[in-house]
Amino acid sequence: MNYIQIISILIFAVTMLLIMTEKLHRMTAALAGAVATIILGVLDIETGIKYIDGETICILVGMMLTVSVIRKSGLFEFLAIKSAKLARGKPWAIMVAFMLITAFLSAFLDNVTTVLLVGPMLFAITKALGVNPIPYVISTIIASNIGGTGTLIGDPPNIMIGSAANLSFMDFIANTGPAVLVVLLATIVCFYFLYGRKEKVSEENVKKLMNMDEKLQIKDKKLMIKSVALLALMILAFILQDYIGLKSAVIALGSATVMLIIGRQDIDQVVEGVEWTTIVFFIGLFIVVGGLQETGVVNMLANVIIDLTKDNVIMGVIIVLWVSAILSSFLDNIPFVATMIPLITAMGDAGMNVMPFWWALSLGACLGGNGTLIGASANVVLSGISAKEGHPISFKNYMKVGFPLMIISIIICTVYVVLRYS
């Protein structure tokens, strides 16, 4: 290991330590890490910019702008009150409903889009019931990552894997789908013991909720109708993006543009609705992780994993599953998956049956994102919205719930891949 690799590892470690201990705001820590990466010569500014995932940033900005306009219509409050009334105001029923809705939407939209749509409804309901929204936020984050694991288009790593291995939408449904269903069921059971028996709401708040008229929450009926129509078209575009030839970023930015035009809202107020601290956090983190990739640290780790898989395929699959999960809890899964893809492809070219490795990589990278607050884009976005709503979630408090549940999900997946592919 050379000097520049050691520097890149130290920068990453210090950045992660600052984020985990919350000595600095995570945006500040990521930005400081990015600046250090460039100043200390790990990357030059031009190379650093290349490591910023422009598509992810564009999706984030596009969806945040879209949701910021739609929020003005009162649509989310309307849906929130309607859903809560259908659940008769029972906190546990509401939590399960949101987990199932989030997991389903995340299978057909990217996770960030889903939490941007569900988040405002979540806070409107918990506010109406007078309950702490944090358990609902955490359960929604975890459900979004679980749901996204089940399909080709649900999570960016799956899109990358599907493209590299020529896998179809139904291939993912057939291979990761069964594991996802079991993991989701087990997670719901875990949340019942964590929160379901404790969450209480006063009869007064339930009565008040049931007497509320959700129609009164509609602030702009014309805007709400436009919003519903645009959302339907946007979801259809995401599902059919392979056929219409548009990338997710184009769909997100296109939706934002149309919504800004037809919404006729104050642009300054709409822009204020974007979580800019989250955007800057991602930019900084991409550069820090880019330092590890540019210096070959990520590639070295991937080669170690591949070396351990030569004699025992199932053991190799398990190693890929667990290493992908643990690393994806702390490290953005996109560069890791990008590094693993050519290595697994090379194994296939050498005559190995690499199909189990693709599914292990998918399950580990996607579900591993549940381990920490920065493990996946959805985690960062929804926790950022929560902080803006006055309910910040600390790295430590999230990890107390997320990391054990992630471990449980990977244990389930370990049993699944052994039974399925041995």
Quote the CA–CA distance of 248 and 62 in Å, as a whole number: 10
For 8, other C-beta atoms within 10 Å of its C-beta total 26
Cα of first residue to Cα of last residue in the chain, in angstroms, is 36
Q: pLDDT (tens digit, 0 to 9) for every residue of the chain, 422 residues total?
A: 788 999 999 998 898 888 877 788 888 999 999 999 999 999 999 999 998 888 778 888 888 888 888 878 888 778 777 877 887 778 888 899 889 989 988 887 777 778 888 888 888 888 888 888 999 999 999 999 999 999 887 788 888 898 888 888 888 989 999 999 999 999 999 999 998 777 777 777 777 778 777 787 788 888 888 888 988 888 888 778 778 888 878 888 999 999 999 888 888 888 887 888 888 988 998 898 889 888 988 778 777 777 776 668 888 899 999 999 998 898 767 767 877 887 788 778 767 788 999 999 999 999 999 999 988 878 988 998 899 889 999 999 999 999 999 999 999 999 999 999 88
Compute the distance between CA of residue 98 and CA of residue 198 in angstroms, rounded to an integer.
Answer: 18
Residue 418 is predicted with a pLDDT of 94
Report the pLDDT value the prediction gives residue 410, as an integer from 0 to 100.
97
Alpha helix (H) residue ranges in 211-312: 221-239, 241-244, 248-263, 267-272, 276-294, 297-307
Per the listing, tokens 């250090």 go with: 36
pLDDT for 228 equals 87
Cβ–Cβ < 8 Å for 316, 357: yes
DSSP class of 375: S
> What is the pLDDT, as a whole number, of residue 357?
93
**3-state SS track over 154-197:** CCHHHHHHHHHHCCCHHHHHHHCHHHHHHHHHHHHHHHHHHHHC
Each domain of the chain, given as residue ranges in start order, spans 6-50+74-218+275-421
Helix (H, G, I), strand (E, B) or coil at 345: helix
Which structure tokens are listed for 315?
A: 């053991």
Global pTM? 0.78
